[in-house]
Structure 1
Amino acid sequence: MILYRYILRLHIGPFLFSFFTLILIFLLQFLMKYIDQLIGKGLDVWVIIELIVLNLAWIVVLAVPMSVLIAVLMAFGGLSANNEVTVMKSSGVSLYKMMLPVLIVSFLITWLLIIFNNEVLPDANHRLKVLMIDIHRKKPTLTLNPGIFSTDVTGYAILVRKTHEHTNEFEDATIYNYSDPMKQIVITAKKGRISFTPDYKKLIMDLENGEIHEQDAENKNIYRIVKYEKYRVVMEVQGFGFERSSGNAFQRGDRELSAKDMLRIVDSLRNIQRKIYESLNSIALTNFKNPFEGKTILPTSFYQRPRVDSVSDYEAMVSASQKLISLNAILKNYITQIEYYDRSIDAYMVEVHKKYAIPFACVVFVLVGAPLGMMARRGNFGVAASLSLAFFLFYWACLIGGEKLADRDILSPFLSMWIANFVVGTLGIYLTIRMGKESMIIDWYSIKEIIPPRIKTWLGIPEEEILTDRYAR
């Protein structure tokens, strides 16, 4: 038990370090992608914090398996580099016993991640979608550029000649009011000040020293001019305030549902398909009969033409052709519906299997990470990060490619999501068995010759250390 605790303790530090590093990288990638949609919106700080927290849900799902792989590579690489593996083997501790506590913990992490995928992730994804829709719906804060008409407020066109950057004041304004179609109103002002009500539903413009020109749209002879010293214009606005939608305002997609909910939807879709097939069978039994049964108008050979001896025979032929055209349209409609439900079922089943396949990668990465770390004989972060990145890119490419193949009905949803686990797991079992029988060490000297100097420095592989390993062997 002391040995097991020691091995597990070696994994805690690298796991936490890589976990928080990956979260930071994914968050930066998200902010760089959506920063242009957030800047200038005038969003509250708590809205930005909520947006980041909600994005942490899908980031955790990706970061945990990759952190497990990095931690296993660094821990077993450090054990091998310090010759602790040799000491353990000489004491009768096999590689399988060394991996046993890590495998048990990986199964525990897999179970917790499955619960997270079904209980936390769907609600977080749904709230994130609603929040992003609300953010996109919010207009930027109203800005008045000198000499340019602003039409951000519905029913108004606002032109100012001069603005003050540090205040909400402006000078020489002209406001065209189109809110009332029966009147044409033009308001001028020497100076003014603009502000919003606390709920951002109304725009207030306090004007000074100007005129109001009003003309009736029906009677052009009625024209009124009013001079004022102070005048307030209140405009109804929409979208300038951040308004939250209710949680049930939008229908949930497949990534916003738990596996149980999606399986329930799949069962209902299959019931609909079953009813369509029953309708097809009834149509086949009632309509696919010989309309000329008992008649001799049909040709007996390829070179003969149909015989039409009476008007009734001709009407039977016309009726049969129309019936066949109608049946063809009905069959095409049913086939289209079946194909649509097949695609929907595959899409839901892909997400169901993904909720279990990605967490199970923690176990798979332990199988492949432990022997690889011992073969590499290096416990630094650069080597572990590079090896784990290569495996995770392969794993993620298999997931994306499998999803595309499942959508095209080339692979089943189960195989498309689990094929990466099968491939990496098989490789891990093979490497584990080989490492349990003999010593396999990666030839860093051969790899060094094809690695560019900058990457070699980033990986933390000194030139003299590589040469020392080469001659030591």
Structure 2
Amino acid sequence: MKILDKYLLKTFLITFTTVFVILFFIFILQTIWLFIAELAGKDLDVPLIIKFLLFSMPRIVPLVLPLSVLLASIMTFGNLAENYEFAAMKSSGISLQRAMRGLIIFIVFLSVIAFFFANNVIPYAEYKFINFRKNIAQLKPAMAITEGQFSDVGYYNIKVNKKSGENGNKLSGITIHKKSVNGDGSKTVIKAKNGELISSEKSSILQLVLNNGNYYEDITPKKYTDRKKFPFAKSSFKKYTINIDLSQLNNVDVDEEKVTNSNTMLTVNELSYTLDSLQKNYKTEVTSYSENINLRTIIENKTFNDLANKELVKKRKELPSDILSLFDNRKKAEILRTASSNLSSIGYSIDGSKTNLESKQKNINGHLLALYDKFVIAYGCLMMFFIGAPLGAIIRKGGLGLPIIFAVLIFITFHFINTFGKRFAQQNGMTPFMGAWMSSFVLTPLAILLTYRATNDIGLINMDVVLAPVQKLFQKLIPNKNKTT
């Protein structure tokens, strides 16, 4: 490796490491803010919080890594151009392509590492992270309930005045509001003097044993005028056990468009195997349903044709154009009612199957997007380098000013298009391949254009192209005084 390559690689690595650490710290703070409800007020000790953050860190890398490459490239090559080091290189016969060659090899190596990280480390971390969130209340039951305020746990809002015991599982002054299934408020209230939380790591059920309390339920009569007759029901108990399913704690997620998180836990080989099974099952179900509908229609048509043939034999007529004319009015009404009922039944069946098939297709799309994402992050690092390096050479500005503005604008564009494409693909608006690669397809021409302009010493914007037509227009509108005189 020559001195120039060592110098450029050292400069880039120092900048890249600094930017990566700063951005990683910022995104970690964002993760803490997103999951603050699961961390704050739950009596979590330091090791559990550290484990929570460690499991959430790998999912940040796909966001931080391309942005770090972009910003480090702009800053590195911007500093070289600003300090006239590029001018010295060019005067020595070293082109921009030659200066970038060593870093291109490093970025390719970094892209390969990013792919293996996305394929192996992130799925494992997702698996541990999701299961840790699922089991966090089972490892320490009192974490699910905060003292002195209502805590949302499953289908219940629970408030306790005081917690005691070694693990905080002894409760006193308990008030529970049970959520209504219809979503029309809480109609059941349970109050108890004391109770105990019991859980097991092998089960996702949290038991709440209540002692010496009352059970109140607001009864809603069929008629509104009867409300005064049935205000509420009250019963007392010495011991009452509530089973709370904690598995739904895993469903707390900021991206509501995702159907399941299981696809993010799989590697490329596992995704390929799962996709093969899902697609085969999907095709089998479509074929089976179409055959059932066809068979059902044939049977109903055969029944009607047999009935019409019997009427033809009775009346000794040929088959008319209007088959219903063979029957009397009472029979016509019966046939039409049966046909309408069958049509409605088939319509409901088609709607139900359509919803089911759309859900399965969304699941397939989610797995495909997870598969393509592992390759997108690798290509994204390479693409961001070919955007940032020539852009820094063109703008000739290093430091944390103008490079950050360009980097943020480009990355926001990349992230917005990527998010929009994946969500649109999830809803069958486009193919998952296009949804996952849309941001790369949009920004790759920009990388090619910037590399071409930087290689040929062309500025970011050729002002002559913009100003020349305007200048010609003014020359036509305002004639030259020398010519007139």
Task: Give TM class, smaller chain.
Answer: 0.5 to 0.7
Q: Could you say which residue in structure 2 is the equivalent of 1:434? A: 453
For 1:119 and 1:235, the matched residues in 2 are separated by 47
| Counterparts of 1:242 and 1:393, CA distance in 2 | 45
Amino acid at match of 2:196: V
Q: Are the structure 2 counterparts of residues 383 and 298 from structure 1 closer, same or farther at C-alpha, using a change threshold of 3 Å?
A: farther
- Of Structure 1 and Structure 2, which has the larger fraction of its residues in helix? 2
Which residue number corresponds to residue 189 of structure 1?
A: none
- d(CA) in 2 for partners of 1:60, 1:267: 28
Aligned partners of 1:72 and 1:78: how far apart in 2? 10
Task: Map 1:292-311; keep pairs closer than 5 Å.
Answer: 292-293=304-305, 295=309, 300=321, 306-308=325-327
Size of the aligned set, in residue pairs, is 367
| Partner-residue secondary structure (3-state), 2:57 | helix
Q: Is the 8 A contact 2:324 2:332 kept in 1?
A: no
Of the three residues 422, 439, 460, the one matched with 1:403 is 422
Q: Distance in 2 between matches of 1:98 and 1:269?
A: 48
Cα distance in 2 between the residues matched to 1:195 and 1:401? 46
Q: Alignment RMSD, CA only?
A: 3.7
State the partner residue of 1:105: 106
Instruction: For 1:252 and 1:97, locate their aligned partners in 2 and report how far apart those are by CA, in whole Å.
Output: 44
C-alpha deviation, 1:439, in angstroms: 3.5
1:238 alignment partner, SS class: strand
Aligned equivalents of 2:202 and 2:133: distance in 1?
Answer: 10
Match of 1:366 among 360, 380, 385: 385
Taking structure 2 as the reference length, the TM-score comes to: 0.66
Over the matched positions of the two proteins, sequence identity in percent amounts to: 27
Return the index of the structure with the highest Cα Rg.
1
Q: Please list, as runs of the form range in 1=range in 2, the aligned pairs for 1:260-275 lying within 5 A after superposition.
A: 260-275=269-284
In the alignment, what sits opposite 1:226?
none
Q: CA deviation at 1:27?
A: 1.7
Q: How does 1:308-347 map to 2 (within 5 A)?
A: 308=327, 323-347=342-366
User: Aligned-pair distance for 1:398?
Assistant: 0.6
Per mean C-alpha deviation after superposition, the further-off stretch among 415-424 and 308-317 is: 308-317
1:188-214 deviation per Cα after TM superposition (whole angstroms, max 9, x unaligned): xxxxxx984434444699xxxxxxxxx
The correspondence of residues 69-84 of structure 1 with structure 2, limited to 5 A, is 69-84=70-85
Mapped partners of 1:54, 1:275: distance in 2: 38
Shift of 1:123: 2.1
Following TM superposition, by how much is the alpha carbon of 1:428 offset from its aligned partner in structure 2, in angstroms?
Answer: 0.9
The residue that corresponds to 1:209 in the other structure is none
Amino acid aligned to 2:389 = A
Contact 1:80–1:374 (CA under 8 A) maintained in structure 2? yes
User: Mean Cα displacement is larger for which, 16-25 or 258-267?
Assistant: 258-267
Aligned to 2:263: 254
Residues 354-404 of structure 1: per-residue CA shift (max 9 Å, x gap)? 222123111001111111001111121222222111111111101111122
Q: Structure 1 residues 100, 204: closer, same or farther in 2, change over 3 A?
A: same
Are the structure 2 counterparts of residues 287 and 106 from structure 1 closer, same or farther at C-alpha, using a change threshold of 3 Å?
same
Relative to the length of structure 1, the TM-score reads 0.68
- Matched residue, 1:177: none
2:5 is the counterpart of 1:4: yes
Q: 1:141 to 1:405 in 2, by over 3 A?
A: closer
Aligned match of 1:198: 166
Which residue of 426, 434, 437 maps to 1:418? Answer: 437
* Secondary structure at the counterpart of residue 389 of structure 2: helix
- CA distance, structure 1, for counterparts of residue 333 and residue 38 of structure 2: 68
